[in-house]
A and B are shown apart, each in its own frame.
Chain A
């Protein structure tokens, strides 16, 4: 595997379910990100991890819980979601967050549908 991978690619869940999204980067980067892409909104940053430490939580509801066990893996744990949480969830990685020459590389995304 190369680049940034995400699993699953598609997920349908009920509002009472608990599920997790997984992201893995094979680029040797130190920063990882979760973004939400809804149909009619700009891409929204949710969380940033830099060297495994969370450095940004963009006022995300607690029903979304991130976990970064190491610099290569990032999870997004989901529980009691709402239908409006249905979106494409994108993971990205970069060499180091906040550095001016840093470029983020995106995974293919997980298309989440909440029923």
Chain B
């Protein structure tokens, strides 16, 4: 059974700092997604990672995938308040359903 674990689950940080959210998964997969969810709102797709070593960047967010370690990271550079949200990773394999992590609630303080 595919299991996905994120850590940390809660993260409070100051503006301007860097930090990383980790997503570990238990079995081989062929795709990994990162989503963002603002309070009371839906999930917004951020990145899709399909191969070992894949790296994608959008603004202050950068996601990477290590399929051998079954690990993806979401790195935040010089955080700003607007990035406060809950971030989810989700992992899929073939035709099987996506399995989501628990989510990381990120709060960025001025």
Using a CB–CB cutoff of 8 Å, the interface residues on chain A facing chain B are: 4, 41-43, 45, 48, 55-56, 58, 90, 92, 97-98, 100-109
Contact B45–A108 (Cβ < 8 Å): no
A56–B98 CA distance with the chains assembled, in angstroms: 11
Which residues of chain A are near B12, meaning CB under 8 Å? none
CB distance A56 to B45 under 8 Å?
no
Q: Nearest CB to that of B5 among chain A residues? A: A42
Q: CA separation between A108 and B43, bound complex, in Å? A: 8
Q: Which residues of A contact B33 (CB under 8 A)?
A: 103-104
By a CB distance below 8 angstroms, the chain B residues around A105 are 45
Do residues B101 and A101 form an inter-chain contact, with CB atoms below 8 A?
A: no
Q: Which residue of A lies closest to B30 (CB)?
A: A100
Mark B residues whose CB is within 8 Å of A.
4, 30-31, 33, 35, 41-45, 48, 50, 88, 90, 92, 94-103
Complex: A105 Cα to B96 Cα, angstroms: 17
Tell me the smallest distance from the CB of A103 to a CB of chain B, in Å.
5
Query: 12 A-B residue contacts at CB 8 Å?
Result: A42-B101, A42-B102, A43-B90, A43-B100, A45-B98, A56-B97, A90-B42, A100-B94, A101-B31, A101-B48, A105-B45, A106-B42
Q: How far is the CA of A48 from the CA of B99 in the complex (A)?
A: 13
Q: Provide the bound-state CA to CA distance between A106 and B95, in Å.
A: 19
Set of chain B residues within 8 Å of A106, measured between Cβ atoms: 35, 42-44
